[in-house]
Amino acid sequence: MVKKKEKFEGELKEETVKVEVSAEGSSNKSVITVQNNNDNSNSNENSNNMGSSENINRLNNLENKLTFSDKLKLKTIEFLKDKYNLMFLVVFIIGLVIRLKYLNLEVIWNDAAVHMWYVIKIINDPTFVFSFNFIYGDHLISHFVTIPFYLITKNIVASGRLASILIGMVGVILIYLLGKEISNKNTGLIAAAILSFHPLFWFLNVWILADAHMATAVIFSLYCFVRMNKEKTTFWGIMTGISFVLTMLAKFQAAHFFMILIIYYILFDIKRMFKTPWIYSWVIPSLSIFADLFMIIIGKKSTFVLRALSLMIDFRGMPFGLDTTKLFPWTFTWSLLLLSLFGAILIIIYRKKEFYFPIFFFLFYWTFSEVNLDQPDARHLLFLVPIIILIASFFIDEVRNFLNILSKKKIISYFSYILMVLLVIIICYNFYQTGTQFIQSKSLTYTGYQEAGQWIKENVPEDIPIFAGEYRSIRLFTEREFGGPTPEFYGGPILNLRSPRRYTEEHESDGKSNFELDVANLSKNSDVYLEIDIWEYAQPKWYWPLSENSLKYFESLGFKLVNMIERDVMTSDGLKKIPVIFILRKDKEVINATKLIK
C-alpha cells in the first residue's frame, strides 16, 4: 500500500492508494509501500512538512515507474469510483443507443449530400483540401471526422451518420464537464441527460447536419471560457481562442461568435480584456479576419468572417417581426424555457458570475437574429439549446438544495434526490417521444437517391449530360461532378435543373424556354437524361410539384421514362409505396439523310 499526504484546504490528510508495478521481464508483481505518519502535535512543524515533501517526492518517483497500462488502470478505477461518473456512463450509453438505431436510415438531405461529396473528393484527390471550394465550403470538422469512417465502411451515408453521432456524443460529454465546472456534478449530469434526449439535437445528430456539430463546438467554447476564468492560465486563454475558431470550422454561421465575446468584454470586463490570459481568447479568433482579407486580395469572393461582420449592421430581419421568438417553443420547449427562466433569476440573485457570459451570449444572439436575420430556422438556433439546458439544470439542482435546507433529515435528502431524478426522467421521456415521432416521420422523406444514383452509374456513360432536379444528391451517388450552369461548372455531366441563374427564381419567365433550348442543343451530340422527384421543393415551378401533366410535358420534348424509383410514403390514405424519383432519357437526334440531300 502507498500512503500519500495531500494538502487540502490547509490541512494534511491521508489517502491510501494501491499501486501494482509489474517487474520488467517478469510476470511477478511487487507491491511498494510508503508509510506516511501524521503527527497531531503542533511541534516540529518544519520537520513534518519536510517529511510530507519527501513522501510526495517518493510518490512522484513511484508514479514515474508505472507503465502507461498501469496508469490507465488507476485512472479508470478512480473514474469508476465516482457514482456521478457511473450515472453519466448510463446516460451516455442510452444516448448512443437511441442514435445508433437510426444508423441505416436511407434519408439524405441535399445539404448533407454536399459535405459527404467533399469527403469522397478528399479521398480521391487529397489536394482538394487546399482548394478554395473546400476551405470555404463550410462544415470542415464534419469532413475530417467522416473520412476515417468512410475508409472503413465504404458507405458514405453510414459514415456521415456515424461521424455526426460521434460529434453529438462528444457534446454530451462536454456539457457534463461544463456543468461540473460551472456549478456541480448534479448540474452536469442533469444537463447531459436532457441534451442526450433533446429532440432537435438528437434529430440533427442522425440527419448529418452541422448544426448539432456547432452546438458541440459552442459547449466546448463555454467550457474553455469557464476554465480560463477559474484558473487564469495562459493555456486556457489560448484554448478559449482556439475553441472559437473551432466553432467557425464546425459551421461558418459561427463566424461572428467571437465578436459577441469582444462585445461582452467591452461592456462588462474591459479591465481584463487586454490582460493575460483573456487577451488570447479574442485575439486568436480575430486573426480569421486577416485570412478573409487575404482571400479578397488574391481575387476571391467576400468570405465568411467579413460577411458575418456585415450582418451585424444589416437590419433585414426587422420587417419580419419576432420570427426567431416564434421558434422558441419548438427549439427549446416550454418546460426548459420556464425552468431556465427561474434558473436565470436565481443566477442573478446568487450573483453566479460563471453563468454571465453564457446568458449574455444567448440574449445577444436572440436579439441579433430578430433584428439582423430574415427567415430563421429552428436548427439555426440549436447551438443556444445547451445554454438553456445548462441554466434549467442549475435550477433543478437548486430546488433539490432548497428542500435539503428545509430539513436536515435524511429522508428529506432522499426525497429531494428522487424528486430531481423523476423530473429529469419525465423531461427526457417526453423528449424521447417527440424525437422518435419526428425522426420516424422524416425518415420517409428524401429517399431513393442512392438507388437512382447507382442505376445511373451502371447504365449511363460518364460523359452523358444529366439534368437533375436534386443535383446535389445525384452528384453524390453517381460520383460525377457538376457541368453547369455557371457558376457550378466543374467539368462533369450533372446539370443543375434548379439553377437560379437559368431555370428558376429570377428566370421564372424564361426558365422553361431555357431548358427546352439547352435540351435541343445537347441532344444534337448525345443522349440526354433527366432526373426529377417528388421531394425537392426548389425544383422549377413550371413542372413541380410533379403531376401527370409534368410527365406529359417532358414526353412532348422527346423524353421517355427509363426508370422509376418507388418508396414507402405516408399519404392521406396511410403508408403506401409510390414512385418518388423518375429518370427519363431523350435519345440523340438522328439526322435525316433525305433532308440533307434536299
Q: Is the N-terminal amide bond of 329 cis, ω within 30° of 0?
A: no
Angle at CA of residue 512, ends 509 and 514, nearest 5°: 95
Q: Cβ contacts of residue 395 below 8 Å, gap of 6+?
A: 339, 340, 342, 343, 346
Q: Cβ contacts of residue 477 below 8 Å, gap of 6+?
A: 449, 450, 452, 453, 454, 456, 457
What gap in Å lies between CA 200 and CA 195, rounded to an integer? 9
With CA atoms as reference, report the closest residue to 171 among 101, 104, 100, 222: 222
Backbone φ, ψ for residue 575 (5° rounding)? -75, 125
Joined grid coordinates for residue 219: 459547449
pLDDT of residue 43: 45
Contact 526/462 with Cβ under 8 angstroms? no
Contact 472/115 with Cβ under 8 angstroms? no
Q: Cβ contacts of residue 234 below 8 Å, gap of 6+?
A: 276, 277, 280
pLDDT of residue 372: 80
> Which fold is adopted by the domain 449-597?
Rossmann fold (3.40.50)
Q: Is the N-terminal amide bond of 461 cis, ω within 30° of 0?
A: no
Contact 157/113 with Cβ under 8 angstroms? no
Amino acid at 368: F
Joined grid coordinates for residue 347: 443566477
Amino acid at 394: F
DSSP SS3 for 483: strand
What gap in Å lies between CA 267 and CA 430, rounded to an integer? 39
Contact 281/244 with Cβ under 8 angstroms? yes
Distances (CA, A) of 159 to 149, 156, 207, 361: 5, 5, 12, 33
Distances (CA, A) of 554 to 110, 311, 404, 443: 24, 42, 73, 30
With CA atoms as reference, report the closest residue to 567 among 550, 582, 547: 582
pLDDT tens per residue across span 276-311? 999 999 999 999 888 777 777 776 665 666 666 666
Distances (CA, A) of 200 to 120, 213, 270, 285: 28, 12, 36, 28
Joined grid coordinates for residue 153: 465502411
CB contact burial 228-250 (16+ within 10 A = b; e otherwise): bbeeeeeebbbbbbbbbbbbbbb
pLDDT of residue 137: 77
Distances (CA, A) of 41 to 34, 38, 47, 50, 113: 21, 9, 12, 15, 72
Rg (CA), the chain: 30
Joined grid coordinates for residue 145: 471526422
DSSP conformational letter for 444: T
State the pairing for strand pair 466-468/528-533.
parallel
Backbone φ, ψ for residue 13 (5° rounding)? -125, 150
Backbone φ, ψ for residue 34 (5° rounding)? -120, 120
Q: Is the N-terminal amide bond of 285 cis, ω within 30° of 0?
A: no
What ranges do the domains of the chain cover?
A: 2-80, 83-442, 449-597
pLDDT of residue 376: 83
- Give 229-241 as a DSSP string: HHH--HHHHHHHH
What gap in Å lies between CA 482 and CA 479, rounded to an integer? 10
| C-beta neighbour count of 333 within 10 angstroms | 22
Largest alpha-carbon pair distance within the chain? 124
pLDDT tens, position by position, for the chain (598 residues)? 444 434 434 443 444 444 443 333 333 333 433 344 444 444 454 555 555 666 666 666 666 777 778 878 888 888 889 999 999 999 999 999 999 999 988 998 888 999 999 999 999 999 999 888 888 778 889 999 999 999 999 999 999 999 999 999 999 999 999 999 999 999 999 999 999 999 999 999 988 888 999 999 999 999 999 999 999 999 999 999 999 999 999 998 888 899 999 999 999 999 999 999 999 999 999 998 887 777 777 766 656 666 666 666 666 666 667 889 999 999 999 999 999 999 999 999 999 999 999 999 999 999 988 888 777 889 999 999 999 999 999 999 999 999 888 877 788 888 889 999 999 999 999 999 999 999 998 999 999 999 999 999 999 999 999 999 999 999 999 999 999 998 888 899 999 999 988 998 666 568 999 999 999 999 999 999 999 999 999 999 999 999 999 999 999 999 999 999 999 998 888 899 999 999 999 999 876 544 444 4
pLDDT of residue 252: 85
What gap in Å lies between CA 331 and CA 324, rounded to an integer? 10
What gap in Å lies between CA 43 and CA 64, rounded to an integer? 33
With CA atoms as reference, report the closest residue to 214 among 392, 387, 388, 384: 384
Chain centroid to CA 538: how far? 25
pLDDT of residue 304: 64
pLDDT of residue 291: 76
Query: Which residue stretches of 373-482 are H helix?
Result: 385-406, 410-442, 449-459, 471-478
Joined grid coordinates for residue 246: 473551432
Beta bridge partners of 8: 11
DSSP SS3 for 446: coil
Amino acid at 159: S
Q: What is the 3-state secondary structure (H, E, C) of 8-40?
A: ECCEEEEEEECCEEECCCCCCEEECCECCCCCC
Angle at CA of residue 554, ends 548 and 560, nearest 5°: 95
pLDDT of residue 411: 84
- The enclosing H or E element of 41 equals none
